[in-house]
Amino acid sequence: MIGKKYRKSMNRKIILAVGAHPDDLDFGCSGTVAKWVKEGATAYYLICTNGSKGSDDPKMTQKKLVKIRKMEQLAAAKVLGIKKVFFLSHEDGELENNLELKEKVTRIIRKVRPDIVFTTDPLMIYSKKRGYLNHPDHRACGQAVLDSIYPLSRDRLTFPNHEKEKLKPHKVKKVYLINFDEQDTFLDISSTIHLKIKALLLHKSQVSKEATERIKEWAKRVGKKKGYRFAEGFKKIILKN
Ligand SMILES: [Zn+2]
């Protein structure tokens, strides 16, 4: 049963979160997605690559890792209340923002018809502050998603094969970009931080207990900006075209 703390303000809203690797969305937006699911939304995940490069274990093979990461993502999504996870299974480290990827993303957008889309900010190339280069798959994913939202999903004559499959054009209303340095919107995840941590811990091949402690600390720091116990921050775009 859903307690009083969850208003049904997201009733009938549809959310699509698109990430490059299994676990990206659980780091970036799972607290908010889980909260909005509790508030009545239906959420879907779309994962673009198979995550086949994410291991230092000398005994690990790519084939094994792909299977493990898919299972981990499905288990994490279940904890968060995600209705379905779509996997495009492109090769990890080789994702390109090309027409092939955009056609696939547009197909999913036209299929699930989201009001709200989450993805990684393609403008996040590096962080001087944190001393890291952003993974090129994250950039390719974010750019492909934005291109697919506008104009590809909107225009009837783009990918006319979709019309034959009864997929109609679709306009997304809001986009939340995951960017760990630049944020303009802070959302309270105090009621779902435990689900975010639980989901992250299910990515056993990727995430340690210590890493989740750091994520919790970071969510606390983000929350302080708005007086929330825990928060996630995004760059928000409201679309009018
Ligand atoms: Zn990633």
Alpha-carbon distance of 203 to 206, in angstroms, equals: 5
Is residue 97 a contact partner of residue 152, using CB atoms and an 8 Å limit? no
pLDDT tens figures, 120-152: 999 999 999 889 999 999 999 999 999 999 999
What CATH number was assigned to the domain covering residues 14-238? 3.40.50.10320
Average pLDDT score, the chain: 96
Find the length of the chain.
241
> How does 158-192 read in b/e, with b if 16+ C-beta sit within 10 Å?
bbeebeeeebebbebeebbbbbbeebeebbbbbbb
Q: Which percentage of the chain shows pLDDT scores above 90?
A: 93
186 pLDDT higher than 70: yes
pLDDT of 3 above 70: no
pLDDT digits (tens, 9 = 90+) for 79-118: 999 999 999 999 999 999 999 999 999 999 999 999 999 9
Whole-number Å distance between alpha carbons of 231 and 221: 8
Ligand 1 center from residue 172 Cα (angstroms): 24
User: Which residue blocks in the chain are alpha helix, DSSP H?
Assistant: 24-28, 30-38, 62-80, 99-112, 136-147, 161-164, 193-201, 209-224
Q: Give the Å distance between the CA of 157 and the centre of ligand 1.
A: 33
Centre a 10 Å sphere on the Cβ of residue 46 and count the other Cβ atoms it contains: 24
- Burial of 12: CB neighbours in 10 Å, binned 0-12, 13-18, 19+: exposed
**pTM here?**
0.96
Q: What is the pLDDT of residues 58-83, one digit of tens each?
A: 999 999 999 999 999 999 999 999 99
pLDDT at position 241 is 77
Domain coordinates in residue numbering, the chain: 14-238
Q: Tell me: the pLDDT tens digits for 11-64?
A: 999 999 999 999 999 999 999 999 999 999 999 999 999 999 999 999 999 999
| Cα 200 to Cα 195: distance, rounded to the nearest angstrom | 8
Distance 47 CA to ligand 1 centre (A): 10
The rounded Å distance from CA 151 to ligand 1 centre is 26
Measure CA of the first residue to CA of the last residue in the chain; give whole Å. 39
CA of 114 to the centre of ligand 1 (A): 22
Instruction: Report CA(9)–ligand 1 centroid distance (Å).
Output: 31
Distance in Å, CA 231 to ligand 1 centroid: 20
Residue 1 Cα to ligand 1 middle (Å): 34
CA 163 to centroid of ligand 1, rounded, Å: 32
Q: What is the pLDDT of residue 43?
A: 98
Gyration radius from the chain CA atoms: 17
